[in-house]
Structure 1
Amino acid sequence: MQSVMIPKGLCDEIDVMIRQFIWGSTSDNKKITLVIWDSICQPKSHGGLGIRSLHDHNTSFVMKLRFKLVTDYSSLWVNVLRSKYVVQGGLPESLSRGQYSFLWRSLSNIWPLIHQNLLWSVGDRRNINCWKDSWVPNVGPLYKKIACNSSLDMDCSLSDMVTENAYWNLDFFLLWLAKDIIH
């Protein structure tokens, strides 16, 4: 469960068994549910029992692995997977699924969810793609905000957008983006 995506149907079946256990039901003897299930799934601090959906729990485990694959270059398993599946530095737009291991297929299935929820911390600006990576809060990738990109280098890093004096090149951004995004 921590390294592969379990089929949603199987997760739902196990969730049903958990519900039956909580209510004391069996397949022959159904009990009345006294509280709505969403209330029970709330955290204990909000009055629930803290029970999680198995599918959501499985997804969060695999997302954690995927996040490590993107950010942790010191772990052996990260270096092995990056080398085996030829993932260069930075954040790829997609992952191939083909005839790969169960772990890699699980990571590639969850990739769109990771990609849309990941926000880069700027740091030294070299590893961030200016247009394709999400680095501006609540905006997403900037290429989606550009009106016309015929002569724009979509593979430039964020460090290319800084002047020699270490200031943002706002004139360049103003050519391609709306003022409300820049300010």
Structure 2
Amino acid sequence: MANKVSGWKEKLLTHAKKEILIKFVAQAVPAYSMSCFLLPMKLCKELIGMIRQFWWGQVKNEKKLAWLSWDKMCLPKEKGGLGFCDLKSFNLALLAKQGWRLQINSTSLFSHVCKAKYFPRCSFVEASLGLRPSYAWRSLMAAHCVVRRCMRWQVGNGIIVRVWWDKWIPRPSTYKVLMSERPNFENALVCELINRATSEWNMEKINSWFLPEDRETITSIPLSTIDTNDRLIWAENRSGKFTVKSAYALALEEQ
């Protein structure tokens, strides 16, 4: 990539053309590697340095004044930035995609191999780094927090989802109910809150178990008349499907 960038400097390019080359070539070249491995911080800095030099028109050892910091250049254009990709955050977003696949697709060969070696008795979001992990597993675990933060349950029949511990409330801050002391119902499941005969919420239990803020949120969750299973969804997207764009926005926020 260094040879490509240095070759571009010899041509007279407008800022619009430079922006296209940076976004669709320079920042896209390492995408495959970033979807499998966590790039070392030193390498990320070197790549960013080459891109910045190209943008500001620096040639060889020449140095020119950078009128805008890289962090601000990575902001969306509607926020005053140029919309460039922060490589570290993009790397985490691509790794989060692999982590999400491990969490929801247990039938793939990739999932079978990783689960047998690294988390045989739990799911990906409950897994730990373990002893002597490979660099590939270390890379996936770097995006562990992104997957955990954006994952929540969509209530079906409620037989899997735990009332007090799982994320199932459509509240963007935590996706959990406001905890209160309920020792007798510590391991209660959401199915206990549903009237199976009418496929409606059991208002008597909801009014006695939860605070007013949670009552309104829970009763706003639609229930299916068909016996459907609970499923994991990506909370940052309205469709519930994972997108690298939403994961990148979250990783950028974390960075």
Q: Give the TM-score, by structure 2 length.
A: 0.58
Aligned to 1:140: 174
Aligned to 2:215: 182
Which SS does the other structure have where 1:159 is aligned? Answer: helix
2:191 to 130, 134, 159: 159
Q: Decide whether the 8 Å contact of 1:133 with 1:140 is kept in 2.
A: no
Aligned to 1:3: 36
Which SS does the other structure have where 1:10 is aligned? Answer: helix
Aligned to 1:171: 204
Q: Give the Cα separation in 2 of the matches to 1:129 and 1:46.
A: 39
Cα deviation code 1:51-82 (max 9, x no counterpart): 30110110001111111111122321112222
1:24 to 57, 61, 82: 57
Aligned to 1:57: 90
Q: Give the Cα separation in 2 of the matches to 1:40 and 1:3.
A: 26
Q: Give the Cα separation in 1 of the matches to 2:195 and 2:121.
A: 27
- Indicate the structure whose relative CO is greater, using CA pairs within 8 Å and at least 6 residues apart: 2
The number of aligned residues is: 180
User: Where in structure 2 are the equivalents of 1:60-139 lying within 5 Å?
Assistant: 60-87=93-120, 92=125, 94-98=126-130, 99-138=132-171, 139=173
**Which one-letter code corresponds to 2:195 in the other structure?**
T
Percent identity for Structure 1 against Structure 2: 27
Aligned to 1:33: 66
Q: Give the TM-score, by structure 1 length.
A: 0.77
Which range moves more in the overlay, 163-172 or 34-43? 34-43
Structure 1: where are the runs of 5+ without partners? none
Which SS does the other structure have where 1:120 is aligned? Answer: strand
Report deviation, 1:115.
1.1
Q: Give the Cα separation in 2 of the matches to 1:141 and 1:49.
A: 32
Root-mean-square deviation (CA, aligned residues, Å) is 3.1
In 2 relative to 1, CA 107–168 (structure 1 residues): closer, same or farther, beyond 3 Å?
farther
Report deviation, 1:132.
2.4
Q: Decide whether the 8 Å contact of 1:132 with 1:142 is kept in 2.
A: yes
Structure with higher strand content: 2
In 2 relative to 1, CA 22–108 (structure 1 residues): closer, same or farther, beyond 3 Å?
same
Report deviation, 1:129.
3.1
Structure 2: where are the runs of 5+ without partners? 1-33, 217-255
Report deviation, 1:40.
4.4
Q: Give the Cα separation in 2 of the matches to 1:91 and 1:82.
A: 8
Report deviation, 1:163.
2.4
